[in-house]
Amino acid sequence: MDWTRVLVTYSSVNGSTAEIARSIALTLCRTGMDVDVVPVSEVQDVRQYHAVVVGSAVYGGKWRGEAAKFLEHFGMDLVDRDVWLFQSGPLGNSAQSIVRALPVRIAMLAESLRMKGAATFGGKLDRNQGGPVGRFLARAGFACDYRDFTEIRLWAEEIARTTAMQSAVLRSGRMRLVRAGSSR
Ligand SMILES: Cc1cc2nc3c(=O)[nH]c(=O)nc-3n(C[C@H](O)[C@H](O)[C@H](O)COP(=O)(O)O)c2cc1C
């Protein structure tokens, strides 16, 4: 498995979570990683990746069903990989400082994985999006972009640092094996 290969996959209804995913991927790319950004519905296989970042928009307190299904479907392969989770949703002026737990179903799925970290990012609501609830929220003054791309970049840099550090450990592990073999 190539340690530089990272999958960033996401589920988004109106595109703002997809933009967060692309922003994470861009940061990882700038640190020299080989990144694929793919909607969860289009992922065929995760075995070629060292790390997998999975994100979902939150609607009605839940992750999108397809994102939860992704974790279930690829669970057997994900246990051998570093998994990072993010959710985007909170609206309002304190959105960026909200520390929100993962929904129960996702937290339970995450327990069986080698989860390295989870983050909650502020969401974005446009007027006329999200049906009656969206319009209600917009009328209440929540139609705004609450995403903080500096916070998102810093989180992605943490992923890059952790992955790079691990790769150094893995490489030194391999070197030790070679020396052991050659001394016989
Ligand atoms: C109908 C509706 C329900 C929502 N429910 C939640 C919620 O339960 N929790 C939350 O944090 N955000 C909630 N949001 C905010 C969305 O998660 C936010 O707009 C997010 O950025 C949407 O992501 P997307 O553009 O990728 O679809 C809701 C928004 C709408 C329109």
pTM: 0.91
Q: How far apart are CA 57 and CA 72, in angstroms?
A: 17
Q: How far apart are CA 83 and CA 167, in angstroms?
A: 15
Residue with CA closest to ligand 1 atom 21: 123
- Using alpha carbons, select from 67, 66, 85, 107 the residue that is nearest to residue 24: 85
Q: Is 62 in the pocket of ligand 1 (CB under 6 A)?
A: no
For ligand 1, the distance from its centroid to the CA atom of residue 95, given in whole angstroms, is 12
For residue 167, the model assigns a pLDDT of 76
For ligand 1, the distance from its centroid to the CA atom of residue 85, given in whole angstroms, is 17
Distance in Å from the first CA to the final CA of the chain: 27
Task: Give domain status of residue 83, yes or no.
Answer: yes
Six token digits for residue 129: 């999006």
For residue 165, the model assigns a pLDDT of 85
For ligand 1, the distance from its centroid to the CA atom of residue 183, given in whole angstroms, is 60
For ligand 1, the distance from its centroid to the CA atom of residue 45, given in whole angstroms, is 28
Strand partners, 117: 84
Per the structure, the complete domain to which residue 34 belongs is given by: 5-179
Q: Is 88 in the pocket of ligand 1 (CB under 6 A)?
A: yes
Task: Give domain status of residue 106, yes or no.
Answer: yes
Q: How far apart are CA 115 and CA 20, in angstroms?
A: 19
Task: Give domain status of residue 24, yes or no.
Answer: yes
Tell me what the pLDDT averaged over the chain comes to. Answer: 90
Q: One digit per residue, pLDDT tens: the chain, 184 residues?
A: 677 899 999 999 999 999 999 999 999 999 999 999 999 999 999 999 999 999 999 999 999 999 999 999 999 999 999 999 999 999 988 877 766 899 999 999 999 887 999 999 999 999 888 899 999 999 999 999 999 999 999 999 999 999 988 877 666 655 455 555 544 4
For ligand 1, the distance from its centroid to the CA atom of residue 41, given in whole angstroms, is 19
Q: What angle do CA 34, 163, 160 make, to 5 degrees?
A: 70
Q: Count of domains in the chain?
A: 1
Looking up residue 37, the CATH number of its domain turns out to be 3.40.50.360
For residue 180, the model assigns a pLDDT of 58
Which atom number of ligand 1 is nearest to the Cα of residue 130? Answer: 31
Token pair 């339970």 is found at 108
Task: Give domain status of residue 184, yes or no.
Answer: no
Kindly write down the DSSP assignment for every residue of 79-114, as one continuous string: TTSEEEEEEE---STTGGG---PPPHHHHHHHHTS-
The string of pLDDT tens digits covering residues 33-81 is 999 999 999 999 999 999 999 999 999 999 999 999 999 999 999 999 9
Residue with CA closest to ligand 1 atom 27: 13
Q: Is 11 in the pocket of ligand 1 (CB under 6 A)?
A: no
Alpha carbons within 13 A on the beta-carbon side of 161: 7
